């Protein structure tokens, strides 16, 4: 193996420590990118934490590890999702003095918005249940700063409230894949 330069300066992660995962809660975030997908009628909102102990967490991760942006929320503007989209726009407008959304998604970039992060379980490639924190709801920056919010209930993969059925394909199963229902992405409201 080739010697790694500056290996002594690398901070070790101890087993079991989440790699920069933020806890569930309310955060003041900055919109880094707003990308329109007109065919599917949604905006892909890429965020980073703008204040507090976790400021810059997602930019740091992206710089270190590359790949996909780690903090993304989809804002659908399909007709049935318009109340949620209006909630997003209202949260951004309330969070930025004199800002009025004019249906140009690029004007969202750089704006602040409050984000409620919630825990979501998933099945890892090792077949074990793991937890991640993802943006779930938008609020005004003022609501986040004043603590006027409730942390979302965790989304569980099985059992309990908020659970979703999961088939773990990393382990052998007797489920006939062809018998599973298909989900049309256009039917998902977000």
Query: What pLDDT, in 10s, does the model give residues 70-106?
Result: 899 999 999 999 999 999 999 999 999 999 999 999 9
Q: Which two tokens stand for residue 28?
A: 């003041």
With H, G, I as helix, E, B as strand and everything else as coil, classify residue 49: strand
Residue 171: name the closest of 139, 138, 124, 136 by CA.
124
Give the span between the Cα atoms of 155 and 134, in whole angstroms: 10
Q: Is the pLDDT of residue 181 over 90?
A: no
Q: Which two tokens stand for residue 87?
A: 């909630």
3: confidence class by pLDDT, cuts 50, 70, 90: confident
Percent of the chain exceeding pLDDT 90 equals 61
For residues 135-146, give the mean pLDDT: 97
Q: What is the CA radius of gyration of the chain?
A: 19
Give residue-wise pLDDT tens across range 169-178: 555 555 555 5
Residue 70: name the closest of 127, 29, 14, 108 by CA.
29
Give residue-wise pLDDT tens across range 12-71: 544 444 455 799 999 999 999 999 999 999 999 999 999 999 999 999 888 888 888 889
The strand pair at 129-139 and 112-123 is best described as antiparallel
Q: Which residues lie across from 189 on neighbouring strands?
A: none
Predicted pLDDT at 63: 86
């Amino acid at each position: 193996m080739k010697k790694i330069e500056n290996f002594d300066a690398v901070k070790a992660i101890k087993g079991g420590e989440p790699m920069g995962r933020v806890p569930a809660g309310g955060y003041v975030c900055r919109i880094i990118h707003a990308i329109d997908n007109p065919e599917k009628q949604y905006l892909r909102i890429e965020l980073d934490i703008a204040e507090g102990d976790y400021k810059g967490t997602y930019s740091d991760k992206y710089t270190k590890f590359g790949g996909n942006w780690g903090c993304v929320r989809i804002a659908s503007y399909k007709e049935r999702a318009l109340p949620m989209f209006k909630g997003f726009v209202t949260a951004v407008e309330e969070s930025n003095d004199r800002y009025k959304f004019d249906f140009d998604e690029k004007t969202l970039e750089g704006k602040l918005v409050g984000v409620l992060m919630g825990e979501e379980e998933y099945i890892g490639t090792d077949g074990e249940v793991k937890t991640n924190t993802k943006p779930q709801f938008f609020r005004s920056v003022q609501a986040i700063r004043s603590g006027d919010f409730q942390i979302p209930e965790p989304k569980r993969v099985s059992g309990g409230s908020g659970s979703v059925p999961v088939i773990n394909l990393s382990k052998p199963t007797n489920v006939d894949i062809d018998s599973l229902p298909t989900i049309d992405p256009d039917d998902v409201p977000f």
